[in-house]
Structure 1
Amino acid sequence: MVVSTLIATIAFAAAFTLPGGYNQTIGIPFFREETSLIIFVIADAVSLICSSTSVLIFLSILTSRYAERDFLESLPRKLTSGIATLFLSIVTMMVAFAASFFVLYDEKLEWVPNTITCLAGIPVILYVTLHYGLFRDVYKLAYGSKYLFKHSRCVLYY
């Protein structure tokens, strides 16, 4: 939840401080025609939305009733959704980070944004390797064994 909040804060701040800045007389961004700026803006917006969604999902886990049914159905589904939206917000945050370097550097220094883009993949790969086991187990619990612990209405003796 803390990570999601930090991503939401950074994504919100980055939405108003575009790479390259604004034209002071007109008030529009300098690189508004660049494809990489459009990718930056879209990725930043998706990152903000996904991280805010992740915060709300994790908050709903904290404020749950903790009933038996919640542990069997609701909480694993919420945890799966929270982890997935957190992953999506991290991916789109890295896409926005890499796109900002493509906005700022010329064609002469093309190796700089390419190197930064490769390095931006490291946190995504690290997140996947660290949380894949948890995500697989929770997903299997939430969706794979749906009827494993359900009470049956069959009566043995009449």
Structure 2
Amino acid sequence: MVSMPGGNDGSKGTPIFLNKGSFMVFVVANALALFSSVTATLMFLAILTSRYVIEDFLYSLPRKMILGLTFLFPSLVFMLVAFGSALTIVLSERLKWIYIPITLLAAIPIILFAILQLPLYVKMVESTFRPRLYRPLKLWK
């Protein structure tokens, strides 16, 4: 069960920070993180449950991998945005300077993921969707 930052109002049941702008950032980022992570998980599960025939290796599996990585990156970004906005909602009353460290710390995994996965992603997109007529075939490396 997901709990809202700050809890709920006991009489109405509505979130306490409902009127704050950062709460709306939390709600939207949390929903987008859920949708994109479920989509990425389904794409990767589709790879595991494929038939493993030749045609799958040429067409279906690379496209599923590209879609999985495409949805995995926004999932990570939205999850960190939701976590950071929840922290700023809870801590903004006591610590006014908390926005800068949270933003810097949330950027580290995003940048690391981009550095590690972007070369693979670009090569996969090129090899899957770029026509072979425009690329010379390298016989010798």
TM range (shorter): 0.7 to 0.9
Aligned residues: 134
Give TM-score, length-normalised by structure 2.
0.87
Q: Which amino acid aligns with 1:138?
A: M
Cα displacement (A) at 1:130: 0.7
* Aligned: 1:25 with 2:15: no
Using a 3 Å threshold, how does the CA distance of structure 1 residues 31 and 56 change in structure 2: closer, same or farther? same
For residues 78 and 132 of structure 2, the distance between their equivalents in structure 1, rounded to whole angstroms, comes to: 32
Cα displacement (A) at 1:110: 2.0
Per-residue CA deviations over 1:76-111 (Å, capped at 9, x if unaligned) read 111000011011100000111111122123366221
For residues 34 and 146 of structure 1, the distance between their equivalents in structure 2, rounded to whole angstroms, comes to: 53
- Identify the residue that residue 70 of structure 2 maps to in structure 1: 84
Selected match of 1:104 from 90, 97, 101: 90
Which segment drifts farther, 100-109 or 132-141? 100-109
- Identify the residue that residue 26 of structure 2 maps to in structure 1: 40
Using a 3 Å threshold, how does the CA distance of structure 1 residues 20 and 87 change in structure 2: closer, same or farther? same
- Identify the residue that residue 41 of structure 2 maps to in structure 1: 55
- Identify the residue that residue 100 of structure 2 maps to in structure 1: 114
For residues 86 and 99 of structure 2, the distance between their equivalents in structure 1, rounded to whole angstroms, comes to: 8
For residues 146 and 139 of structure 1, the distance between their equivalents in structure 2, rounded to whole angstroms, comes to: 13
Cα displacement (A) at 1:113: 2.5
Cα displacement (A) at 1:117: 1.4
Taking only aligned residues, the RMSD between alpha carbons, in angstroms, comes to 1.7
The unaligned stretches of length 5 or more in structure 2 are 135-141
For residues 128 and 51 of structure 2, the distance between their equivalents in structure 1, rounded to whole angstroms, comes to: 17
Cα displacement (A) at 1:115: 1.0
- Identify the residue that residue 69 of structure 1 maps to in structure 2: 55
Q: Secondary structure at the match of 2:18?
A: coil
* Aligned: 1:123 with 2:109: yes
For residues 41 and 76 of structure 2, the distance between their equivalents in structure 1, rounded to whole angstroms, comes to: 13
Q: Secondary structure at the match of 1:29?
A: coil
Q: Which amino acid aligns with 1:136?
A: V
Identity of aligned residues (%): 40
Using a 3 Å threshold, how does the CA distance of structure 1 residues 104 and 72 change in structure 2: closer, same or farther? same
Give TM-score, length-normalised by structure 1.
0.78
The unaligned stretches of length 5 or more in structure 1 are 1-12, 149-158
